[in-house]
Structure 1
Amino acid sequence: MEQHTTKRQFESPLATGAAALVLSFIAAMLIWPAWSLTVKAIYQNLAAAGLAAADPKTAGNLIGSVARGTFFWTVINSWIWLTLVMGNHGKSAVATRQPWTGIRYTLIAFCAGAVGFLVLISFLGIWWKPFSLAVMFTPGSAAEAHLALEAWEASNFYALAVIIAQIPLVSLFQKWPFAGKGEKPFESWATLALGTAVTFIAWMALIVPSWMKLAIGEEQVVTAPLGGWPAFAAFCQAYVIFAIMPVEGGELYPMKFFAKKQPFMGIAGFIIALAAGFLLPPAIKAVIVPLNLVPGLPADVAVASLELSVIVFMLAWHHLFDDYPNAQLVPGTAARILCRMAAWFGGGTLYGIVWLKSFKLIPYGANDLGMGVPPLGVLAGQFALLMTLLLLNTFFDKWPLVRTAPEPAASRAAVPGGNPAEQGNC
């Protein structure tokens, strides 16, 4: 077996994490304008007739929605499928050195997201006119442009359904009931299949009614969950905090307080996450409304943004800072988790306030750079940084801050006792 040596630019995990966070921020600042302007140019050619017929506001919203949607499907959804569910299966099957491994797997992720979109959405589009790929990609009139906008908005947030439905199958239920029932690819594929079914139900039940105005005559036939999208988004972010906490440095707590085996541990975690979804937003809202952090921004949107900031910081702490402090630094489990929680909620809140005050100045927030960059906005904008740091760790193994290379054969032979590979120690 080939042995590898790892070289770190910084010895301290805190220094590595800070450098990786800065690198992720710079990359997100560059990637989103390039991505969105490319998508904008392509879509303006594909949908020229519909965009010209629609009013300027609808045309602009449609272009922005397409730019966001392509990002959500090919980056967010695909990362959850490949990394969380599939465990990065096949990542190093061809290339074993960075950055080539990361580039190859990123391209695979893009393709997986595109295929997922084409299969799931085009299937629905057989019977739902707005979801017809012809309407979504090549609207030919103002009416079709309006339909395309609603379809893109609803399909974009399939990503939210993936987050709230598929992630818990891994984070809370640990791939139960498939875990340990077969080879690793089997349990992953089975979990992905179950997750897709659950996600599609959640999307149709929660997301589609939030965006599509369905009516029979004058009678509205759907009601937006929790009264509207901002309140629902705030519920979802609070729910996600506690849905991912057990596996993002929480060492299976808090659900482990109530059960030690599946599915009871997962059920306990799910109930905790649901309770957080209902209880946290009103509590946060009571605190921030008097502060009026962003005048004119709905209170529920500000709440959802602050909660999302905690999620970003929690994931950054896990992926870039390696769940600092580790067991060697803080042997006590309770003390160790409490230290991490202080970082998640303290750092996340500070970051959240800075984001609310600055997102209009940031290219992946709401700054069009004078070039007409489609905005991600106060909520979706945070995913640009989040996904960049996640890909940096899971696809690129923190390259170039951490470099792994094959150990020279001469160095192995110089070790007393000969080549370790020949001793059966590989």
Structure 2
Amino acid sequence: MPEFVTKRRFDNPLLNGFMLFLFMIIYASIAWIIFSQFFNLIITLIAGSALDALPHEISHKYREVFVEGAFFWLAITPWIWMALNLGNPNKYDKGYKQPMVGIIYVGKAFLWGLIGFLFSCLLLGIFWKPFNLAYIFNPQTEEQAMIAIKGLTASNFFALASILGQISSVSLFGKWPAQLFTNEPKAINFINWSLSLALAILIWAAIMIPGFLDPLAFNGTEITANPWGSWVGTNAWFQAFIFLFLMPAEGFAGYPQRLVTRKQPWSGLVGLAIAIGGAFLLRGAANVLLGGIAEVSGLALDVVVAAFFLSWINVMLTWHQYFEDYPSLEQAGGNEGKRILTQLAIVLVLGTIWGLAWPFVYKYLPIAGNDLGLGHPVLGPVAGQFVYMVPMLYSATGFDRWPINQNVPKV
């Protein structure tokens, strides 16, 4: 079976990374138009006559959350399972080179995501009308459409529960406690996926379902609530939290908790405490500092704050995946502290520039706010950031940064 290795097209890692970033902005814009148009067509074929009878605002919102759900379930959640929890199983087994390896990778991810969506809705939909497939795919009345929108939105944000529960199990805890049961890598990966999936389901049931079905009432008393009064406020805190718990695994060599210990589970618990406490501090500071941006841009403050921290996340992930954590340890003179602090400065400076510009430019970009007059759904200033992030991650883990990087035969 032939073997291939990945080679940079440009020797300079900064130039190579910039070309990857430029390519991905163009690719993500085109891919979103195709993806959004395709799933908009799918739901039109399934429920078109019923949607046409609904008020335009409700019909438009329904299409938006349906397309968003297709993206979240088919792309985001299965990437976490395949790339992080399971370690890209059997990725190269067929002996193909890029881009065929990446195409098969994406096909597997979409299939896994579809199975996850159908399983969750078939199970929950037995007793929960918002998750019933008849409501989700074919709402017949305005009331059913509103229920479907709530159910779809809650279902879509299983992706966030997966980020919180399943990525943190890798980035903070290094897949502990799976190593207590076996030393075999595939078994460790499967145990990590199973345990973290259970945690993600618990987070989803505890936070996302009541958060998006809010308000539910019993005898006139509301029985659901959001921690910050609205889901948008809750999401703003989550983005700061995610940025902090991703850091140890995204080019920062296990820091900051490594300053205290490397031993699990204590390292993970220290990192978790830092992420929770730091998220409160960052969100509080951002609420003060970004108030003017929110006022000038016309967006809600919580939306601006959530998008700002997502900008930090996007830059951190891009620098890790495309720029190879520049500068290297060798370029930093062998000083790990210098390397890490330099990378942190790069991420915060570029992320802040992105975050301050984003509320004003997203509406012009096909990946977030501009349908180019074609009428397909766009995801707005927060979820729209994922329209760049997710293809970027697939290009790195599934396509080995092809076509800017090349697959060459192993010598």
Taking structure 1 as the reference length, the TM-score comes to: 0.93
| Residue equivalent to 1:421 | none
Report the residue type matching 2:129 in the other structure: K
Query: Residues 64 and 95 from structure 1, CA distance in 2 versus in 1: closer, same or farther, beyond 3 angstroms?
Result: farther
Query: Residues 3 and 396 from structure 1, CA distance in 2 versus in 1: closer, same or farther, beyond 3 angstroms?
Result: closer
| Residue equivalent to 2:70 | 70
Q: Deviations over 1:100-123 (max 9, x none)?
A: 000011100110111111112321
Matched, 1:403 2:406: yes
CA contact (8 A) 1:28 1:388 kept: yes
| Residue equivalent to 2:88 | 88
Aligned mates of 2:287, 2:340 — CA distance in 1: 26
Give runs of aligned pairs for residues 96-175 of structure 1, distance below 5 A. Answer: 96-175=96-175
Q: Secondary structure at the match of 1:404?
A: strand
Report the residue type matching 1:175 in the other structure: K
Query: Residues 55 and 6 from structure 1, CA distance in 2 versus in 1: closer, same or farther, beyond 3 angstroms?
Result: closer
Give runs of aligned pairs for residues 324-363 of structure 1, distance below 5 A. Answer: 324-330=326-332, 331-363=334-366
Aligned mates of 1:49, 1:221 — CA distance in 2: 35
CA contact (8 A) 2:4 2:97 kept: no
Deviates more, 1:219-228 or 1:232-241: 219-228
CA contact (8 A) 1:85 1:188 kept: yes
Aligned mates of 2:117, 2:256 — CA distance in 1: 35
Q: Deviations over 1:126-182 (max 9, x none)?
A: 110110111111222222111111111111111111111111100000000113724
For structure 1, the 5+ residue unaligned runs are 413-426
Aligned mates of 1:63, 1:292 — CA distance in 2: 27
For structure 2, the 5+ residue unaligned runs are none
Q: Please, which of 368, 392, 396 is the counterpart of residue 395 of structure 2?
A: 392
Matched, 1:369 2:369: no
| Residue equivalent to 2:26 | 26
CA contact (8 A) 1:310 1:345 kept: yes
Aligned mates of 2:371, 2:404 — CA distance in 1: 30
Aligned mates of 1:339, 1:293 — CA distance in 2: 33
Deviates more, 1:211-220 or 1:234-243: 211-220
Q: Deviations over 1:324-374 (max 9, x none)?
A: 111111111111100110111111111112222110111121112111120
Q: Secondary structure at the match of 2:10?
A: coil
CA drift at 1:49: 4.2
Matched, 1:271 2:265: no
CA contact (8 A) 2:294 2:304 kept: no
Report the residue type matching 1:268 in the other structure: V
Give the number of equivalent residue pairs: 408
| Residue equivalent to 1:423 | none
Report the residue type matching 1:137 in the other structure: F
CA drift at 1:282: 1.0
CA drift at 1:400: 1.4
CA contact (8 A) 1:131 1:151 kept: yes
CA contact (8 A) 1:36 1:374 kept: yes
CA drift at 1:95: 3.9
Q: Secondary structure at the match of 1:405?
A: strand
| Residue equivalent to 1:316 | 318
CA drift at 1:83: 0.2
Q: Deviations over 1:41-68 (max 9, x none)?
A: 1101212343133221111000000001
Report the residue type matching 1:336 in the other structure: R
CA contact (8 A) 1:76 1:387 kept: yes
CA contact (8 A) 1:50 1:138 kept: yes
Report the residue type matching 1:90 in the other structure: N
Q: Secondary structure at the match of 1:227?
A: coil
Q: Secondary structure at the match of 2:369?
A: coil
Q: Deviations over 1:171-228 (max 9, x none)?
A: 0000001137242221111111111111111111111122113112422110112221
Report the residue type matching 2:261 in the other structure: A
